[in-house]
Amino acid sequence: MAVLVIAFIPGSPVIQDLPGAALTGLQRIGGVATGVGADPSGWSPFEIHDPSLGQRLLHMLTEVPGLLLIAEIGRRMSNLVRAAQDLDPFTAQNARALATLAKLTAIGGTGTWILSQVAQGVLAATMLTSLPTFRPQDTPLGWLAVGLIFAAFGRILDRGVAMRAELDTVI
């Protein structure tokens, strides 16, 4: 909620990385040694001095969905850890909770990444005089990797549940 409030405060910055390929004059940047220049295939941060409401909303869309997803993942992990500490960690319910968390992380993370990339592309378009072909700046691999880790832990817990059930039949 605080991010939403800050986004609407007059004078709060809207900073967006722009692709070097869409910028001109990179060869004439001062303050660097001879033979040093900006990477034309890289990205450079720019600040909008007087952003419109639309630009502020687009900037918010590049950050807030990911933050909300991280908060939800943290909340669910906290509940899961608390349940494992208070009761038995090797339960089918905990294994299912981790499997659900894995899906939420992988699918939700990829979704927030796509949303932020679209918002960054539209925001960059409002800042540039000519529109280059927009290429994503990052990848959703981090979200997918964490989702796979959660899924693996869920499978380990599920196997622990199965081993305990087998042991109960032997004893």
Q: Which helix (H) or strand (E) holds 124?
A: helix 109-127
CB-side neighbour CA atoms (13 Å) of 171: 6
Round to whole Å and give the CA distance between 63 and 3.
9
- What does the pLDDT profile of the chain (171 residues) look like in tens digits? 555 555 566 677 788 888 777 777 767 777 777 777 777 777 888 888 889 889 999 999 999 999 999 999 999 999 999 998 998 888 899 999 999 999 999 999 999 999 999 999 999 889 888 876 777 878 999 999 999 999 999 999 999 888 888 888 887
pLDDT of residue 2: 56
pLDDT of residue 33: 78
**DSSP letter for each residue of 18-63:** EEGGG-S-GGG--SS-TT----TTSEEEEEESS--HHHHHHHHHHH
C-alpha torsion 104→105→111→112, nearest 10: 120
Round to whole Å and give the CA distance between 105 and 149.
10
Quick one: residue 166, left, alpha or beta (phi over 0 = left, psi -120 to 50 = alpha)?
Answer: alpha
Q: Where are the domains of the chain?
A: 51-170
Dihedral angle sign, alpha carbons of residues 45, 48, 49, 55: negative
